[in-house]
Amino acid sequence: MRRYIQRAAALIALGLPLAGCTVGPNYVRPPADVPPAYKEAASPGFESAQPSDALAKGKWWEIYGDSQLNSLEEQVTVSNQSLRAAQAQFAQARAAVQVARAAYYPTVSGSGSASRTRQSQNGPLFGASSPINYNDFQLPIDASWEPDVWGRVRRTVEAARSEAQASAADLANVDLSLHAELALDYFELRGLDSQKKLLDSTVVSYEKALELTNSRFTGGIASAVDVAQAQTQLETTRAQDEDVDVQRTAFEHAIAVLIGKPPADFSQMPTPLTAPPPPVPASLPSELLERRPDIAAAERRVQEANAQIGVARSAYYPQFTLTGDGGFESSRLGTLLQGPAGFWALAGSAAELIFDGGERHGMTAEARAGYDESVDNYRQTTLSAFEDVEDNLAALRILQGEARTQDAAVAAAEHSLDLSITRYKGGVANYLEVTTAQSAALSDERAAVDILTRRMAASVLLIKAVGGGWNVSQIPSM
């Protein structure tokens, strides 16, 4: 057996120098059009945070300084089912790398057998000294190894590793998207809380206005039309107030699902929006390629497709195989493990496919087309990422100016309402003027709340667009 092991080692060592060629193109990251700066970031009046802001920590939601939001975001990380599914998908991709790497090594199998045989005495090989009945005990070990001469295994491992890294980036993208979705739903819910607070206070004001109108009607100063208009205004606003509850309930249920709870087991205390969004660091366009997990996933799949070209190309070259058999065989169990019972055999083979009807050519063409597709997807993902950043930079800039204009409109509407009520009490104007002013004031106040909610949503979407606190260095090396 020692001589068998020595010869097997020598044969393996002889095959190792052959495993030095790797067919197929070496990977180079494809170029992508990257602008020198964001157009919207250079717009007048835009305010951006410094790059040293809290986003670098990864828990980007802490930039809002909201303890309730922080608590909910932490529950997403632990309990969200979609995130768990993405984690399981990454675990599968990581295990596939181990499966691909197994092809680097020989396969060894062992078995054992025992048999009792009776020969035919009329058989052609039966002799006088041959036993009619005999036993046969065997303990064979079989080994087989295919040297990676042309790099097929290396390219397969490279493809599996790239797919696993892309899966890790997909996991990061799911994580980022889910946390962003929670923040969006949370701020939408708080915006509805602001709407609810506004409508509640408006209902109280309209109830007082109705009391005033009834008093004036009883005193003969106002008409029944004024009372009907006041009643209509009040009931319409009550209906709007109740409708907000429908929308708020839907967002509350959505938050419950995101944190992995049944909607019946979750409720969120009303917390109206009061403060505008904090400044968000936009970074540089070139950094976006490193900070967006979806871009990183697309780039890793380009490398995977590139490796598949090498796998397809390796089919053009001969396939070398080294095999070895050894073990023990004896007719007696007591002498099975003795030296004379040992046997071994070493062999090597080479095979080349001579004709395949164009199959290898088709597989190579398919792999190259797959690479071209992945490059196009990578560049499209990059363009879409720049679009996301520009869209939300523009939204923040425009909404900031719109908020100032809307605040002025609210102040003007409130002043107009005060004047109309004064004129009505003085008998100068009818109640239609009051209801018109009330409707305008309520509409402007609700619009101001809506703009604040949209500003919060735009800031969340901008953070998502720049990749949150993620960086490509967080992709495992596999």
Q: Which pLDDT value is given to residue 433?
A: 92
Distance CA 169, CA 474 (A): 9
Torsion from C-alpha of 330, 334, 335, 336, nearest 10 degrees: 50
Mean pLDDT of 312-340: 89
Q: What's the chain's average pLDDT? A: 89
Tell me the CATH number at 17.
2.20.200.10
**Residues 378 and 421 both lie in one domain:** yes
Q: Contact at 8 Å (CB) between 57 and 469?
A: yes
Q: Could you give the percent of the chain with pLDDT greater than 90?
A: 70
Query: Which comes out higher in pLDDT, residue 2 or 157?
Result: 157
356, part of any domain: no
**Residues 257 and 303 both lie in one domain:** yes
Q: Contact at 8 Å (CB) between 320 and 106?
A: no
| CA nearest to 169, candidates 292, 76, 29 | 292
**Residues 324 and 464 both lie in one domain:** no
CA distances from 384 to 110, 127, 182, 289, 460 (A): 56, 84, 22, 12, 17
Torsion from C-alpha of 326, 328, 331, 334, nearest 10 degrees: 180
User: 56: pLDDT confidence band, cut at 50, 70 and 90?
Assistant: very low
pLDDT at residue 368 is higher than 80: yes
Model's pTM, two decimal places? 0.86
Residue 44 DSSP class: T
Tens of pLDDT, residue by residue over 374-383, are 999 999 999 9
Please identify, among 328, 351, 374, the residue that sits at the C-terminal boundary of a domain: 351
**Residues 255 and 197 both lie in one domain:** yes
**Residues 438 and 407 both lie in one domain:** yes
**Residues 15 and 162 both lie in one domain:** no
Tens of pLDDT, residue by residue over 184-211, are 999 999 999 999 999 999 999 999 999 9
Distance CA 145, CA 104 (A): 8
pLDDT at residue 142 is higher than 80: yes
Mean pLDDT of 401-417: 96
Angle at 55 between CA 165 and CA 177, to 5 degrees: 55
109 DSSP β-pair partners? 142
Tell me the CATH number at 42.
1.20.1600.10
416, part of any domain: yes
Distance CA 140, CA 317 (A): 32
Domain of 142 in residue numbering reads as 1-26+111-147+319-351
Distance of alpha carbon 323 from the chain centroid: 45
**Residues 166 and 37 both lie in one domain:** yes
Number of domains in the chain: 2
47: tokens are: 């305010």
Other residues' Cβ atoms within 10 Å of the Cβ of residue 205: 16
116, part of any domain: yes
* H helix and E strand count, the chain: 9, 5
Mean pLDDT of 13-19: 47
